[in-house]
Amino acid sequence: MELGVFERSSTTDPIISATAYNFAIGLTLCWGFAINWLMVTNIDPQSIADINPWIFFIGYFASCFFGIYLFNKSNNPLVSFIGYNFVVIPFGLIINLVVSRYDASIVSEAIRITGLVTIGMMCLGSLFPAFFKKIAGALTIALLLVIVVELIEIYVFGIHHGIIDWIVVLIFCGYIGYDWGRANQIPKTIDNAIDSAAALYMDIINLFLRILRILGRK
């Protein structure tokens, strides 16, 4: 095991071209989205809802954290790809549950908006990587604060303010720019492409879920 993916400044692995590197990131992202699509279209959301909540969430977090550990610490592309799938599958279960609550037209609109926003933030991340690096700490603090506030609102007061969804959208827009910017600052290897895609995947899915929620309220 080596340094975390975004801490790597040198490597003994083969360096690939920028085009191949970006293609590998895109291909890895498409794999994750395709798996999620297959899960949504082939798994009955009720069968997921019937799982004991404690078992579901323990399994969800265990799988995600294990996957993050694998792809973040390994410099072996196969191990990183396995770790990526340990994140994609539990995310797919959540997506299945959430998407089942909305009309197909709203889901399609959310996908389109998420795609456009993601491309825009990637462009900004390429143009202003230093800016996104500066705000990374603020993004983390803001996300943790929002999570705490949202949990208190839901479980203590039984309410949910829509403004929180907009704040989370802004936070994950920032994370997409940040992760894309630093993905292009590390050595361009196949393993780093997979690791970067995994980080971006989590940003994009969280952005999509919040956009879907905002559109659903309308």
pLDDT digits (tens, 9 = 90+) for 137-150: 999 999 999 999 99
Across the chain, what does the average pLDDT equal?
A: 92
| Helix residue ranges per DSSP H, the chain | 18-42, 45-49, 53-73, 77-99, 104-127, 129-152, 162-183, 190-217
User: What pLDDT band is residue 11 in, cutting at 50, 70 and 90?
Assistant: confident
pLDDT digits (tens, 9 = 90+) for 112-128: 999 999 999 999 999 99
Distances (CA, A) of 216 to 48, 105, 199, 203: 21, 10, 26, 20
pLDDT digits (tens, 9 = 90+) for 43-95: 999 999 999 999 999 999 999 999 999 998 888 999 999 999 999 999 999 99
Please report, as a single letter, which amino acid is at residue 101.
Answer: R
pLDDT digits (tens, 9 = 90+) for 150-167: 989 888 887 777 899 999
Backbone angles phi and psi of 57, in degrees to 5: -75, -35
- Specify the pLDDT at position 53: 92
Who's near 1: CB < 8 A, 6+ residues apart? 73, 74, 75
Q: Is-contact 6 178, C-beta < 8 A?
A: no
Q: Give mean pLDDT, residues 181-190.
A: 93
Backbone angles phi and psi of 100, in degrees to 5: -65, -15
Predicted confidence (pLDDT) at residue 2 exceeds the cutoff of 90: no
- Specify the pLDDT at position 13: 81
